[in-house]
Copies of this chain bind each other. A is one copy, B any other.
Amino acid sequence: MSPEHVKITVTHILYADLHGIDSHGCSMMHHYHRSYADGRLSMTPKIEVIRETKATALIDGGGGLGHVPADKAMRLAIAKCRSSGIGAVAVRNSGHFGAAGAYTSMAAQEGFIGMATTSTHAPALVPTFGAEALLGTNPIAFAAPAVRNQIFSLDMATSTVPIGRLTDEWRKGNAIPVGWAMNRKCRPIRNGRAATKHRMVTPLGMDQKTGGHKGYGLAAMVEILSAILPGVTRSRKRGGGDGRAGHFFLALDPRQFSDEGEFEEDLDDMVDMLHACRRADPNRPVLVAGDPEHAKAEERERSGIPLSKSVFEDIRSVARASGVAFLLEGEA
């Protein structure tokens, strides 16, 4: 991978690890390595702008990891937003891009509203009334700038839980709650490791009675924006691009709707109002999207990023297989 691509990729991997989104950071390294070893991932992708107008663009990711094309796409959306008030950029022929919030926070840091969605390489989400997984856990991220408070930053799978949570609970020795995952007979699975193998999770809201059809609808919306719009579905149909992902990015300038600073001030007021919400449990404050991640980032900036034994060993084996020095040696 070129030094420039390394730098961008590491920045976004670190974003995930720093913000406590451990399932999307360096724990992915051995998956990436396996895809590379299997010849399914280019480390020298040609990333190209295929179509472009003043406010929109389509980027081809060249069959590599998603971080670099996603970074390029959000930068382009921000540039278009700066000149046109709004910018929308879609990416095809891409790969796993880490945490979606890494890209929306780029927009918010520049004073814009940011939105990002991604399709995934393999299905996991079971449609309402269905008995097989047909969509990905298709995340939505949305960020907006504040001043007194940290940026508002929502980053969520449209499934009840992302796949990574299933293994997490198993590692902690917990049974997973009924309603998170199922087997082919639509019976709930309680064992997180078995659930990870079955790869059949419920949409946000679970049953139809509790709104699962809405999570399923949101997952389909994400599929439309990040797979159908950039043409990922199309290239899959043509026999190429199996296991490829697509993304969608939007940047919007609040200054086209109100005077400089008004948006941020009003968002601060909303955040303050939510933080001051009467509590169900006096010891558990009401949070705002992004709070847990901001707190985790502050903590880890100070004390470092803890790596589990298994991630540590995974990275060591990637280093060995790649013939490069394992710089963390002795630090486990």
Is A220 in the interface zone, CB < 8 Å from B? yes
Interface size on A, residues (CB 8 A): 80
Is A256 in the interface zone, CB < 8 Å from B? yes
Q: Mark A81-108, 1 if CB is under 8 A from B, else 0.
A: 0001110101000000000000000000
Contact with A280, one of B131, B215, B228 (Cβ below 8 angstroms): B131
Q: How many copies does the complex hold?
A: 2
On whether the beta carbons of B142 and A211 are closer than 8 Å, the reply is no
On whether the beta carbons of B224 and A267 are closer than 8 Å, the reply is yes
Is A306 in the interface zone, CB < 8 Å from B? no
Contact with A273, one of B51, B56, B134 (Cβ below 8 angstroms): B134
CB interface residues, A 216-266, toward B, < 8 Å: 216-218, 220-221, 223-225, 228-231, 233-234, 237, 252-254, 256-258, 262-263, 266
On whether the beta carbons of A266 and B231 are closer than 8 Å, the reply is yes
On whether the beta carbons of B280 and A220 are closer than 8 Å, the reply is no
Interfacial chain B residues near A262, Cβ < 8 Å? 231, 234
Distance from A225 Cβ to chain B, minimum over Cβ atoms (Å) = 8
Interfacial chain B residues near A279, Cβ < 8 Å? 129-131
Q: Mark A252-294, 1 if CB is under 8 A from B, else 0.
A: 1110111000110011011001100111110011111100000
On whether the beta carbons of B113 and A85 are closer than 8 Å, the reply is no
A269–B281 Cα distance when bound, in Å, is 48
CB interface residues, A 130-155, toward B, < 8 Å: 130-132, 134, 140, 142, 144, 152, 154
Given contact pairs A127-B274, A206-B210, A84 touches B113 in the complex (Cβ within 8 A): no
Interfacial chain B residues near A90, Cβ < 8 Å? 257
Q: Mark A178-190, 1 if CB is under 8 A from B, else 0.
A: 0110000010000
Residue in chain B with minimal CB distance to A285? B129
Distance from A142 Cβ to chain B, minimum over Cβ atoms (Å) = 5
On whether the beta carbons of B269 and A237 are closer than 8 Å, the reply is yes
A27–B287 Cα distance when bound, in Å, is 36
Is A21 in the interface zone, CB < 8 Å from B? no
Distance from A284 Cβ to chain B, minimum over Cβ atoms (Å) = 5
Interfacial chain B residues near A266, Cβ < 8 Å? 228, 231, 233-234, 237
CB interface residues, A 158-179, toward B, < 8 Å: 160-161, 177, 179
A217–B288 Cα distance when bound, in Å, is 7
- Residues of A whose CB lies within 8 Å of any CB of B are 51, 53-56, 58, 84-86, 88, 90, 113, 127-132, 134, 140, 142, 144, 152, 154, 156, 160-161, 177, 179-180, 186, 204-206, 209-211, 213-218, 220-221, 223-225, 228-231, 233-234, 237, 252-254, 256-258, 262-263, 266-267, 269-270, 273-274, 277-281, 284-289
